[in-house]
Amino acid sequence: MGMSEFAGYGIGGKMLNAMQLGMDVTGHNIANAANPAYSQQVATVKAARPLMDVGDVGYIGGGSEVTGIDRMRDTYADIHRVSVHGDLGRADSLLQGLDQVQRVVNEADGHGVSKALDALTSAFESLAAKPDDLSLRQGVLDAASSVATHVQQRDSDLAQLQRQSDREASDGLIEVNQIAQAVAKLNAQISNAIALGQHPNDLMDERQSQLEKLGSLAGAETTNMDNGMVNVSVNGHWLVDQDRGAEIVTARDPQRPGLSLFTWKDNGQAFTPSSGKVLAAFELRDRDIQGERDKLSTLALALRDDYNGLQAKGYALNATKQGGTAFFKATGASDLQVDPTLAGDPKALAAASTPGAPGDGNQAVAFAGLAGQANQGLGDTYTGALSTWTSEVGANAALAQQQRDTEQASMDQLDKLTAAASGVDLNQQALQLSQYQEAYEAGTKYIQTIDKMMQALLNEVVA
Amino acid sequence: MRIAANEIPIHMTANVQESLRPVQSASQQLSTGKRVNMPSDDPLAAGKIVDVHSELSRDDSYLQSADTVDAQLAMSASILGRVHTLMVKAQNYAIEGLNQSTESPVDRATLAASVDAVLQQTVALANTRHQGESLFAGFQTQATPFDMVSGQDGAVQKVEYKGDEGVNHALVGDQMAFALNLPGDAVFQSPGASVFDSLIELRNALNQGDERALDGALDQVQAAMGVVSMAQAHAGSLEKALETRKDALGALESNLHENLSTNEDADMAKTAADYQQALNVYNAGIQSTAMISKLPTVINYL
């Protein structure tokens, strides 16, 4: 006894299904050809399980079927994609941030603190020749006030950049929290689907995309689990554990007004990103911008100490006692100002080196000489320090540009590798379409033939 | 390596944007005329530019101070010259007084009156103010340095110095301070060579007809002339030193401007060429991108 006559229909039906499915996959590929996150899918068409013939022929083929729809992916490249996204995200953000910083502290444009300091020195030199001239005295105080304003303004601008970086970090972490939840959910969906024998290819594409986003934000170390889930950790602390996502909490920093502290919700430990935009934001906020503010404060205190020192040793107009008021008042760059008592009384400026000597401008000469002397705290003259800092900030920004270019090149290379495996080639898909279409037509012809045979059998035998 | 058609547009976009960067950079240099618009354009040059700007400012300040010193020294020197001329006159009166044969009390009285006039004039000159401030009062620039004290007969008996020994300075270089003034008592009331005392003595000696006193007065007048002369010469040599310093400052300024230009200014010809080249590369890039994006695939022919 042979196979059932109806087996032909089975083979035909299976074939049509298989070719239809193949066309669907091809259509899906073509539809997503422009989607850079999409991995091309390939329907694996295999010979169907053979039917056992109880006769002497043995196994008879059962047609073809789609045994799987595989996602074409270079998994080696995928692991690197997440980390390169992190490096590139960090380099990009650092570059943008440092560019802004260099704009704020640029002394080379001729409108900076050093220009104001030179004007103050000039004012003192003019005063030295006619120390009892009240308008020249006022000129000195105005110039000193200008120095203080420049320093305060720059500090304020830097503080604003710092708060901006802080906001970028907190915005980034809000996104990290959201993505962690999304990845956890995708993990659950993917794992369920795989357990049911399905191929959740598009979900896996979505998850890869989210992981790369996570990497570009805070850096992520991924671990592939056997159940199809991916675990994620940041600097050793878990972010996604199977189907659970961790949370990062933002709070006000009590020691730094206007800035934030970031901690893991589960154990209160400080959150430290390993890479990405958030790491760059931290670095800008705590290292680069804070560094510039610290330098500025060092300058402010050096000015305060130097000018106050001379003011204390000199004599005000017609004074018989030394000093009287301070010259500058400051605890740092943010509050540097001319001492209010002095600001309201130009006569109190100690231009003389001897008492009761209205024509003595020798202390003013000493004030003017401060610009040419190295200050101990700075290790250089005021302008020397400012010019060194300008060079440093420029060098850092230039280096950041180079690093970003390097990371971009790495990313480009990875993109090529990924596209080689996963990219949709319209030529290939078109040929595939052609193949499936012809096979489908051949299938329908086969069914027609089987049908004719069946008709013949029924007509001749039954009728 | 397999190249998927869909990856090409992604990379071409990035490459085109990348090729815009040198165009933008050259364009900015051309419009500002500066090579260094941001410290990152050339960090070392940026630092040097800051230093040079500051040195130029200080140089300018020193030049202005030098001018101030110059004006004051010139004024002082001119006054000393006039005092010296007056002292020569007094000297002549003294010599005339000593030629006894032609002398009569009336003549000596006339000479004495002339000497008194010289006294008044020298005191007035010594009390000269420059821009409202006494030149020869040391630090007491608001005070009138020399005060004439008259006796019961109405004639000036002594001149008192109301100033002090202070010497004011101006900076004409780093650590280079120039004296601005000469204290009046050192110039006009040097012990044994005092301008005013010698004139008072001369006048008195002429009035009294005391030949020995006249002789002594003449000696003092000549000694005082010597002191004034030396002060004048000193002022003169200070002025010469100042001229040299001003020339040096001028030369320094030229050098600094050149230095600044080297570091800061764009080489316009080269930058224009760079701009053109960058533009060509960019144009080639966008044209080829347009062509590739239109490449047909098999789908077009199905």
Count of structural domains within chain A: 2
- How far are the Cα atoms of A32, A98, A249 from residue A165, in angstroms, in the given order? 36, 11, 17
What pLDDT, in 10s, does the model give residues B116-173? 999 999 999 999 999 899 999 999 999 999 999 999 888 999 999 999 999 999 999 9
Residue A1, pLDDT > 50, answer no
Predicted confidence band at A90 (pLDDT cuts at 50, 70, 90)?
A: very high
H or E element, residue B207: helix B195-208
Question: Based on the domain organization, do A66 and A86 belong to the same domain?
Answer: no
Has residue A32 been placed in a domain? yes
What pLDDT, in 10s, does the model give residues A354-380? 999 999 999 999 999 999 999 988 999
What pLDDT, in 10s, does the model give residues A232-281? 999 999 999 999 999 999 999 999 999 999 999 999 999 999 999 999 99
Measure the CA–CA gap between B111 and B203, rounded to whole angstroms: 8
Predicted confidence band at A460 (pLDDT cuts at 50, 70, 90)?
A: confident
List the one residue out of A318, A347, A345 whose CA is nearest residue B142.
Answer: A318
Measure the CA–CA gap between A108 and B76, rounded to whole angstroms: 43
Question: Based on the domain organization, do A26 and A110 belong to the same domain?
Answer: no
Question: Based on the domain organization, do A202 and A140 belong to the same domain?
Answer: yes
Contact B139 A359 (CB under 8 A): yes
Q: What percent of chain B has pLDDT over 90?
A: 71
Predicted confidence band at A15 (pLDDT cuts at 50, 70, 90)?
A: confident
Higher local confidence (pLDDT), A363 or B295:
A363
- Note whether B33 contacts A: Cβ–Cβ < 8 A: no
Has residue B299 been placed in a domain? yes
Has residue A416 been placed in a domain? no
Contact A423 B7 (CB under 8 A): yes
Has residue A396 been placed in a domain? yes
Question: Based on the domain organization, do B289 and B242 belong to the same domain?
Answer: no
Question: Based on the domain organization, do A176 and A258 belong to the same domain?
Answer: yes
Cβ under 8 Å to B: A residues 18-47: 30, 33-34, 36, 40
- A chain contacts of residue B180, beta-carbon cutoff 8 Å: 129
Has residue A332 been placed in a domain? yes
Has residue B262 been placed in a domain? no
**From the list B3, B53, B142, which residue is nearest A115 (CB)?**
B53
Measure the CA–CA gap between B41 and B54, rounded to whole angstroms: 21
Task: Give the ipTM.
Answer: 0.89
Q: What pLDDT, on the 0 to 100 scale, is given for residue B103?
A: 61
- A chain contacts of residue B36, beta-carbon cutoff 8 Å: 108
Calculate how close chain B gets to A201, using CA atoms only, in Å: 19
- Mutation test of the interface with chain A: which of B136, B168, B292, choosing the one with the most A Cβ atoms within 10 A? B168
Has residue A436 been placed in a domain? yes
Measure the CA–CA gap between A386 and A381, rounded to whole angstroms: 9
- Note whether A65 contacts B: Cβ–Cβ < 8 A: no
Calculate how close chain A gets to B248, using CA atoms only, in Å: 18
Higher local confidence (pLDDT), A377 or A56:
A377
Q: What pLDDT, on the 0 to 100 scale, is given for residue B165?
A: 93
Contact A423 B5 (CB under 8 A): yes
Predicted confidence band at A2 (pLDDT cuts at 50, 70, 90)?
A: low
Question: Based on the domain organization, do B186 and B298 belong to the same domain?
Answer: no
Contact B46 A125 (CB under 8 A): no
Has residue A355 been placed in a domain? yes
Domain residues for the domain of A434 are 7-72+423-462
Sheet strands (E) in chain B: 129-130, 133-134, 146-150, 156-161, 169-173, 176-179, 189-190, 193-194
Has residue A136 been placed in a domain? yes
Question: Based on the domain organization, do B120 and B212 belong to the same domain?
Answer: yes
Cβ under 8 Å to A: B residues 53-82: 53-54, 57-58, 60-62, 64-65, 68-69, 72
Question: Based on the domain organization, do A137 and A183 belong to the same domain?
Answer: yes
Q: What percent of chain B has pLDDT over 70?
A: 97
Last residue within a domain, chosen from A411, A434, A450: A411
Question: Based on the domain organization, do B280 and B299 belong to the same domain?
Answer: yes
Question: Based on the domain organization, do A103 and A148 belong to the same domain?
Answer: yes
Question: Based on the domain organization, do B148 and B291 belong to the same domain?
Answer: no
Question: Based on the domain organization, do A232 and A284 belong to the same domain?
Answer: yes
**From the list B6, B11, B64, which residue is nearest A33 (CB)?**
B6
- Mutation test of the interface with chain B: which of A416, A431, A438, choosing the one with the most B Cβ atoms within 10 A? A416
Has residue B28 been placed in a domain? no
Question: Based on the domain organization, do A247 and A348 belong to the same domain?
Answer: yes
Question: Based on the domain organization, do A114 and A49 belong to the same domain?
Answer: no
Question: Based on the domain organization, do B223 and B294 belong to the same domain?
Answer: no
- Note whether A289 contacts B: Cβ–Cβ < 8 A: no
Question: Based on the domain organization, do B164 and B221 belong to the same domain?
Answer: yes
Question: Based on the domain organization, do B302 and B187 belong to the same domain?
Answer: no
Question: Based on the domain organization, do A312 and A454 belong to the same domain?
Answer: no
Domain residues for the domain of B290 are 267-302
Return the residue of A nearest to B70 by Cα: A129
**From the list A110, A125, A433, which residue is nearest B65 (CB)?**
A125
Contact B2 A125 (CB under 8 A): no
- B chain contacts of residue A424, beta-carbon cutoff 8 Å: 4-6
Question: Based on the domain organization, do A194 and A256 belong to the same domain?
Answer: yes
Has residue B4 been placed in a domain? no
Question: Based on the domain organization, do A114 and A245 belong to the same domain?
Answer: yes
Residue A6, pLDDT > 80, answer no
Question: Based on the domain organization, do B74 and B153 belong to the same domain?
Answer: yes
Predicted confidence band at B102 (pLDDT cuts at 50, 70, 90)?
A: low
List the one residue out of B65, B55, B203 whose CA is nearest residue A124.
Answer: B65
Give the three-class secondary structure for A364. Answer: helix
Return the residue of B nearest to A105 by Cα: B39
Question: Based on the domain organization, do B162 and B238 belong to the same domain?
Answer: yes
**From the list B40, B54, B169, which residue is nearest A383 (CB)?**
B54
Question: Based on the domain organization, do B134 and B97 belong to the same domain?
Answer: yes
Contact B4 A419 (CB under 8 A): yes
- Mutation test of the interface with chain A: which of B139, B180, B263, B301, choosing the one with the most A Cβ atoms within 10 A? B139
CATH number (domain holding residue B137): 1.20.1330.10
How confident is the prediction for chain A on average, in pLDDT?
A: 92
**What DSSP designation does A458 have?**
I
Q: What pLDDT, on the 0 to 100 scale, is given for residue A420?
A: 87
| Start-to-end CA span in chain B (Å) | 26
Count of structural domains within chain B: 2
